[in-house]
Structures are given as structure tokens and as C-alpha cells.
Structure 1
Amino acid sequence: MSRARRIDTHQHVVPPRYAAWLHEKGIRPGGVDLPSWSERSALKFMDGNDIQTGILSLTIPGVYFGDVPEARRWAREINQFCAEIVQRRPDRFGFFATLTLPDVDGALAEAEYALDVLHADGIVLLANNDGRYLGDPGFQPLLELLHQREATVFIHPGELPAPDVPGLPSFTADFLLDTTRTAISLILSGSMKRYPGIKFILAHAGGFVPYIAYRILLTMLNDKNKLQQAWTLIDQKHQVPKHLAVLKQFYYDIALSSTPAALPSLLEVADPDHITYGSDFPFAPAPAIGFLTKQYENYPLDPKLREAIDRGNAEALFPRLKG
């Protein structure tokens, strides 16, 4: 097992009052029951998986259900809950603050409060918010703020804005597509170029992004004429076309994706300094995480790259955790 004392950038929190609230609404995120969570169970899991620090985040469905004041109250409560955990154990926990999208005004206010008062380590955003992806023009004021703050933003998938397919759980493929859609949305909207100060972490190795990198390239070139397309694609040195460099701006966690099937595509596309360890605890059960972690530990990686994924790359994102 790695001795890097991992930093887990994809670890979730399920505050008890929030869990009760979702239960009252009859919501089963991703079509599954909410897992039980406690600070004690999280520490036990971390100790058994060589994780020194878990950066906590709320996952789907977030806090917005059409009621703006309700969403703002819950975002504030959840962020204060997480901040208290970090205050007790700053060596073991960090947190990404929950916002209120698609309520942009509430998101702006909560981002400032969370970063300035609660000292959040970053922000978590769902890939789509009421069917709108993150490149949506209406979200630009928030992206501008996060760019100015040079914030780390963890993008987590949500339910696709489409009907469920009976018998196909959302987490199997829909989540990966949702992340992929929002990454493409950020690229095509110009947001990646306009807001380079934001350090976006894409969950689950970016969904389908690495695998379809060249399809994304063709989409980016779609508005060029055929001569321009051909000139862009010609590469006598067999290097990745320059237009794909935008994919190296993203960070990618390896939660549920540290397998011999997924890692080659990720390593081909991602900047080696932009890959972080992730577990997806407690939504992924501990035995599944253990199995996938073993796949990762057995995968032939350069020791320096493994150390960077386990800890070093996250230390660059969260300097307070260095050491």
C-alpha cells in the first residue's frame, strides 16, 4: 500500500439533519438510499485506507428544490456543520462549500461567506443545476468571483435533466455523462479560457472526457472551415493537437475510476500534476473502495506519479495540508 498519507478530494458528508430532510421529501439520490455517515465512521474508513485528510463535500441532490430561501438556509447550515468538523480536526478534514445554484445571487453570497468567514478549502458545484450546465451564461457572475478568488471547485455529477431509464441506475453511466456534458459546456462557452484562475476538479476521472477527447476536439473545430480543420489536425510530430490542451487545465480525481480500463485514457489526457486521489466514501461502500484501491495500487505507475496522485497534487491545491 502507498505510504503517501493520501488526501482524498472526493469524500462526502451526510449531515444528520440534511439526511432527515431528504427522507421527508422522499428523495433517494441516484436512486439509492442515503448511506449512514458520522465523523467517527469517516475516520475509521480513512485510517483503513491510508487517507490522512478527506475534503468533505455534499453530493446530489444538493439543496435547491425550487425554494430559494430554503436552499439558502440549508447551504448555510451545511457549510457551518462542515466548518465545525474541520475546526475540530483540521489535519483530518477539509471541506468544499455548498452553494445554491441555480440561485446565482444566493450562490455569490454563500461563496463569499464560506471562503472568507468559514475558510472553506473550495467550492462544490453540481454538473447541472435545474438542467443548466456550468457554461451557462447566467452562471458567469459566479465563475468570475471564483476566478478572482483562484478557488478550487469540485464538480460532482447529478441526475441528468432527462427521464430515468428503468433498470439502469444513474451512477452507472448517467453520472459520467453529466460530468462530461458540463466539462464540454465550460470549454465551448469559453469559460475555461475566460476564468483560468478556477481550478476545476472533475469527479470520476472526468466521466467520459478522456475517452472521447478527440471527439471533443472535433466539436471544438466544428465552426471552422475544412481547410482550417485540416491544418489544425495535421501534426507531423504526432503530438496531441494544441486545442486539446484545454483538457489539461482540468484536475481529475480517480474515485471509482482507478482501474486498468480507465487509467490509461486518463493518463493520456490529463496533466500528471492534475490528478488526485478520491474514494467517494460513503456512497461507495468500503469493500468496493478497497477493491478499486487495490487495482490502483497494483497498476504500474512511476513512484513519483503515484506519490503526486496520492498527496502531492492535492497539497498544491490546498497548501495548508503540506507536510
Structure 2
Amino acid sequence: MRIDFHSHYLPPRFFERMDALQASDRIESYAVFGPRLAAAADRQFASGPAAFLEHRLQDMENGEVDLTMLSVGAVQPYFESAPAAIAATRLANELLHEAVAAGHGRFGAFGSLPLPHTAAALDELAFCFDDCGFQGVNLGCSAAGSPLDAPEFDDIWAALNDRAAMVFLHPGATPQMAVGSAEHLLAPAFCGPTEMAIAVCRLVAAKIPLRFPRIQVIAGITGGSIPYLANRWDRGLRMSDPALHEEIGGVLPSLRRFWFDTSLIEDDHLYDTVRATIGVDRLVFGSDTPRGPVMEAVDAVLRSDRLSEQEKHRILDHSGDLVLGATTGRFARPNP
């Protein structure tokens, strides 16, 4: 089955709620990405959600995609105010649920959580799984200044582990990590890959994959800069903290406990680096739609001269089944 693990659903109602909660003044990612994504949503949803979803289904047909996992992505509603975070997150999940119900079994969803508020996040996690039937959650690479491996989030990881859930990591929480990075689309090109690599490697150092082994974590944009710099971190950690390096079993074997999507399609040579570090067998298909047509992302795999035919088949049509097979594999239930 061909599964697209990286696809976003952001109708105008989401941005209206975020604007009403003054997200641009309160959330870094929304200040940078919100206006541009809101303008895109106005164009994409000009004929309404039903027309948007029909277009998405046709796009899936063009790419022979069987199932698309929808998520919020970069503009997670991570307000420091718990009531604001809860209100925005609940709407985001209700919108995802409506989309899944309208998708004729072709859409799944990664729900959002009102981080950094652990108790509220646990309540919303139950809503995502028990009321909506989602297959997993979408997390930013950090939450209102807290890393995902922060001890206060242990109960969330434990709850996800109990449900054998999927976790889809998406960058964008800290697009202003470097001077001037908020301009000229530098943040998604350079900060996002760095942010993703730091988040995943912190999870490794905190032994999250070892402590919560039933969770299937999928890192967006091919793990960002991980394929390029994993060996450098492995050497550094081995020298600076040999006990931790030994305890986790080394950096590269630890990274192979994650999955990585293929949405970083601009560099075909990346597959050579992936093969030498995390392994091509840890790749799953991801398009990052509606950034571009899904067929563009499919073609990036099919036309690659860096991948064997067997590897292309595994990425597009086999690895996704392995991820779903290791989780609850549930599809969201339609609204009554």
C-alpha cells in the first residue's frame, strides 16, 4: 500500500482561530509561517473544504497513493496559555476528523496536542484516539521552549507507547534560531533541517526509543541534517560521553529505530548519504503536500538514479505497511 505520511490540512477556519488567539504575538512559528500559510489556505479553499479534498483525492490518484496521513505541520498551537492551546488544538483536531470522514477511507490523521500542557495533552490524546480514531500524533520539534525529551512529557510518551502509536515529527517550531533566518524562506530551508536533527538526536540521548519501544516515530524531511552529520555526532558523543554512547548502543543504530520520510526531494544525492548512515530501508514516502503535487514527490523516488528498483518499491509501497503493522493501524472513524 502506498502511504503518504507527510501531508497537511490547514483550512481557513484554523487560521481564524489562531488569529483570534493572537498567535502571531505568542507563537514564533506562527509569526513566521502563519501569514503565508493563511494566504495559501484562502486560495486553496476558495471553493470550500469539499472541493479541496476532492482535488487532494485526485492528486492521490495521479500518484497512485492509497492513504494520506493529514496533519497540521509547522504551525502547531503551542501557546503558553493552556486555555488558548486547548481551544486551538481541539479545533485543529475536529477539522482533521471532518476531513478524514469526507475522504472515503483514503485519509488518516496525526492529531495535535496542546503542548506544553501535559495534563491537557493527555486529555486531547485520548480524544484523538478514542473519539476520532486517529493513528497517531503530530509533534513539533519543541513546544513553547521545551524539548520533546523534557521529563514533564514522559507521561505523554508513556501514553503513546501504551497505544503503540505513530508520532510524526515536523520542523518549524523555532524558525528564528539564527539571525536573519525568518526572511527569504531561509527558515524552512536551513533552520528546519537543523531543528529536526536536534530534536531526533535529543530523543536518542534521552533513550526515548529504548524506553518507549512500541512507538513508531517518523521524522519529516528525511531527518533534516541527520544523514549529513550523524557520523560527526557519533564521534563527538563517543568522545565526550562514552558511557551514554555505549548505553544507547551507538548513534547510528539508535537512529535506525526511527523512520524518515522522503519529502526532502531537492537533492537526489541525499539517498547515497542516507544509505551510508540511517539506511534506505528506514525511509517512508512523504510528499509535503500541498507544497507541490504528490506526483512530484513520487517521481523524485521513481526517477532517482541513486536508488535500485527494489529500494524504490520498498520506499513507496512497502515500508509504510511496516509502520502501520507495528502500530494499532486504526483508521479514523467518520462523524456520525
Give the TM interval when normalised to the shorter protein: 0.7 to 0.9
| Contact 1:247 1:270 (8 Å CA) reproduced | yes
2:219 corresponds to 1:202: yes
2:33 corresponds to 1:30: yes
| Contact 1:257 1:263 (8 Å CA) reproduced | no
Q: How well do the aligned residues superpose, as a CA RMSD in angstroms?
A: 2.7
2:320 corresponds to 1:314: yes
**Secondary structure, counterpart of 2:7 in structure 1:** strand
Structure-1 separation of matches of 2:287 and 2:35: 18
2:150 corresponds to 1:150: no
Structure-1 separation of matches of 2:169 and 2:115: 13
* Closer/same/farther in 2, CA of residues 45 and 28 from structure 1, 3 Å limit: farther
Structure-1 separation of matches of 2:316 and 2:296: 17
**Secondary structure, counterpart of 2:63 in structure 1:** coil
Structure-2 separation of matches of 1:290 and 1:60: 22
Q: Percent identity?
A: 23
Q: Please name the residue that 2:66 is paired with.
A: 52
Which of the numbers 178, 186, 194 marks the counterpart of 2:195?
178
Deviation per CA, 1:83-138, whole angstroms, max 9, x where unpaired?
A: 23223335310000110111111111111221122110111100011122211222
Structure-2 separation of matches of 1:224 and 1:61: 35
Deviation per CA, 1:42-75, whole angstroms, max 9, x where unpaired?
A: 2232223222221000112211222211211222
TM-score (norm 2): 0.81
- Listed as ranges, the matches of 1:240-319 within 5 Å are 242-257=250-265, 259-282=267-290, 284-286=291-293, 290-300=295-305, 301-319=307-325
| Contact 1:127 1:156 (8 Å CA) reproduced | yes
**Secondary structure, counterpart of 1:51 in structure 2:** coil
Amino acid at match of 2:180: V
| Contact 2:256 2:278 (8 Å CA) reproduced | yes
**Secondary structure, counterpart of 1:173 in structure 2:** helix
In terms of mean alpha carbon deviation, does 99-108 or 21-30 score higher? 21-30
TM-score (norm 1): 0.84
Structure-2 separation of matches of 1:123 and 1:292: 23
Cα deviation, residue 302, structure 1: 2.9
How many pairs were matched up? Answer: 304
Structure-1 separation of matches of 2:18 and 2:90: 16
Structure 2 unaligned runs (5+)?
Answer: 25-29, 45-51, 332-336
- Listed as ranges, the matches of 1:21-170 within 5 Å are 21-23=17-19, 25=22, 26=24, 27=30, 29-30=32-33, 33-34=36-37, 35-36=40-41, 37=44, 38-160=52-174, 162=177, 165=180, 167-169=183-185, 170=187
Structure-1 separation of matches of 2:330 and 2:133: 14
